Amino acid sequence: MKKIFLATGNKGKIAEISAILGNKGIFIETCLDRPDMPAAREDGLTVKENSLKKAMACALYFKEPAIADDTGLEVEALNGAPGVYSARWAGEGCSYEDNNRKLLSALNGIEMKNRKARFVCCITLAYPDGKAFFFEGFADGLIAEKPAGQSGFGYDPLFYCPQYGLTYAQMPAELKNRISHRAKAVASFAAYAEKSGI
């Protein structure tokens, strides 16, 4: 089994990415396994920039290839917000519930058909020599009028997929890990890893 470092301490991301890559024969180590890893400053203007910052910081620190995920929720009625600020939209140190409440408040009075949204995920593979490769995934949906479901994390209770009649938080993990923005990005990385032999 191959091994690669994933630059995150987010337990939700770790669970999803581990499940997807484990089926491809790739084992991950994370910041939970290596707490000596210094945190990268996520001040990029796009999820791609932040993903690169995190992956490259780890690759340089450990002197081995590393990957990082950065994700944003883009809501059409909010001109693409919260976007790159999704994780901290309600303020530094905010909870998932804080972000969800702010999103519902911002969309108050907007009918369901006009609550279109898109999740964007970028997985970056970085090497100590400075090379980097990017793998992106996208998922379209709607923002529900109230939270539904107990699974997942982040905006999952509000991200509604009409074709399944479920929010991400209502989906079995197996389904979400097949259709989500993150699943698509991770699958692209896994295909590259298999082809390149990293």
Residues 26-30: what's their mean pLDDT? 90
The verdict on whether 70 is a catalytic residue reads yes
pLDDT digits (tens, 9 = 90+) for 164-175: 999 999 999 999
CA atoms within 13 A on the CB side of 1: 12
| Candidate list 33, 70, 98, 140, residue with the active-site label | 70
Residue with tokens 């298999």: 194
CATH of the domain spanning 2-196, picked from 3.40.50.300, 3.40.50.11540, 3.90.950.10, 3.40.50.12370: 3.90.950.10
pLDDT at 1 over 70: no
Residue extents of the structural domains in the chain: 2-196
In Å, what is the CA distance from 182 to each residue of 92, 137, 178? 24, 6, 9
Q: Report the candidate in 31, 15, 28 with the shortest Cα–Cα distance to residue 153.
A: 15
Q: Report the candidate in 77, 99, 76 with the shortest Cα–Cα distance to residue 86.
A: 99
Residue with tokens 């970056």: 124
User: How sure is the predictor about 141, in pLDDT bands with cuts at 50, 70 and 90?
Assistant: very high
